């Protein structure tokens, strides 16, 4: 049924929208409008099945319309953050949607040959980055998934995802990682800062940490100075990526200097 397909695909649809247009609020609005149209469409609502490809195809088309409207006719669509729009769509659909090239071609309307050429060109660039394990501490599952995609798209890998303080400490006992990406405030009055402190005591060294918070005004100057990066929600998606790379770069430079 359509509701089951929507429920299963929703987190990935949101992540795709957020990353493609670099706007979490607008991305959620676009996904919401698409799903509302599908649910209230008489033909669609009577269908027994709606595939993930259909859902991504509808969202992709609406996202392109949004980008074209924002760029006054499309002049700014040639390159976004160093990648063409073709490249970003193909890369995100394979990374987030886990689609094969033939499926990406159907979703985007780009020829299969072009999709394969784009992926062969872009994947080595991502793989060439120094791969570092990143531990994510985030109590919202969707946000944790989105952060995981950003870590992977930065050329690193997710060592583990924890939603609570105890989960974070337990992961630290069994996983290898060189950076922590953590929300400051977790559910049930738990603190990401407390989780990081416990982890650093456990492993015996200070791990570079980037904090994410919905209330940057509540972060004290002392806490801000101790963090290797501080990003507010709703965050600029590419600032998260740059903060990860910046924290790792500073840690590497400090080790070399020492």
- How confident is the prediction for the chain on average, in pLDDT? 81
Using an 8 Å Cβ cutoff, are 164 and 194 in contact?
A: no
Q: How far is CA 191 from CA 178, 194, 214, in A?
A: 20, 5, 13
**Band (43; pLDDT cuts 50, 70, 90):** low
The burial class, CB within 10 Å (0-12 / 13-18 / 19+), for 116 is middle
| Tens of pLDDT, residues 187-242 | 888 888 899 999 999 988 889 999 988 777 777 777 777 778 888 877 766 777 78
Degrees (nearest 5) of the Cα angle 91, 111, 8? 50
Calpha distance 119→95 (Å, rounded): 11
Mean pLDDT, residues 85-98: 84
Which residues sit opposite 160 in a β-bridge? 135
Q: Which of 36-40, 48-52, 109-113 has the highest mean pLDDT?
A: 109-113
Using an 8 Å Cβ cutoff, are 138 and 161 in contact?
A: yes
Instruction: Tell me what pLDDT residue 104 has.
Output: 96
Domains within the chain, CATH numbers bracketed? 2-126 (1.20.140.160), 133-257 (3.40.50.2300)
Which residues sit opposite 212 in a β-bridge? 183, 231
Using an 8 Å Cβ cutoff, are 6 and 45 in contact?
A: no
Instruction: Tell me what pLDDT residue 47 has.
Output: 56
Instruction: Tell me what pLDDT residue 73 has.
Output: 45
pTM: 0.61
189-142-26-127 Cα dihedral, nearest 10 degrees: 120
Instruction: Tell me what pLDDT residue 75 has.
Output: 42
Mean pLDDT, residues 165-181: 92
Strands 209-213 and 133-137: unpaired
Instruction: Tell me what pLDDT residue 77 has.
Output: 46
Using an 8 Å Cβ cutoff, are 17 and 226 in contact?
A: no
């Amino acid at each position: 049924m359509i509701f089951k397909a929507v429920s299963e695909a929703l987190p990935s649809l949101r992540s795709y929208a957020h990353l493609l247009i670099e706007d979490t609020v607008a991305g959620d609005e676009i996904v919401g409008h698409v799903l509302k149209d599908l649910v209230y469409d008489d033909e669609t609502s009577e269908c027994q099945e709606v595939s993930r490809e259909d859902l991504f195809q509808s969202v992709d088309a609406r996202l392109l319309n949004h980008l074209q409207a924002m760029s006054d006719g499309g002049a700014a669509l040639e390159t976004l953050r160093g990648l063409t729009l073709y490249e970003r769509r193909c890369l995100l659909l394979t990374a987030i949607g886990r689609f094969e090239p033939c499926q990406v071609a159907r979703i985007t309307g780009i020829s299969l040959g072009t999709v394969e050429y784009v992926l062969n060109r872009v994947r080595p660039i991502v793989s060439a980055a120094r791969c570092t394990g990143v531990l994510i501490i985030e109590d919202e599952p969707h946000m944790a998934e989105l952060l995981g995609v950003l870590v992977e798209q930065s050329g690193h890998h997710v060592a583990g995802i924890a939603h609570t303080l105890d989960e974070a400490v337990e992961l630290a006992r069994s996983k290898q990682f060189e950076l922590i990406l953590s929300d400051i405030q977790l559910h049930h009055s738990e603190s990401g800062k407390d989780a990081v402190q416990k982890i650093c005591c456990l492993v015996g060294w200070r791990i570079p940490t980037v904090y994410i918070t919905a209330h940057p005004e509540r972060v004290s100057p002392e806490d801000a100075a101790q963090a290797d990066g501080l990003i507010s929600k709703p965050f600029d998606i590419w600032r998260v990526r740059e903060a990860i790379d910046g924290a790792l770069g500073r840690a590497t430079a400090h080790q070399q200097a020492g």
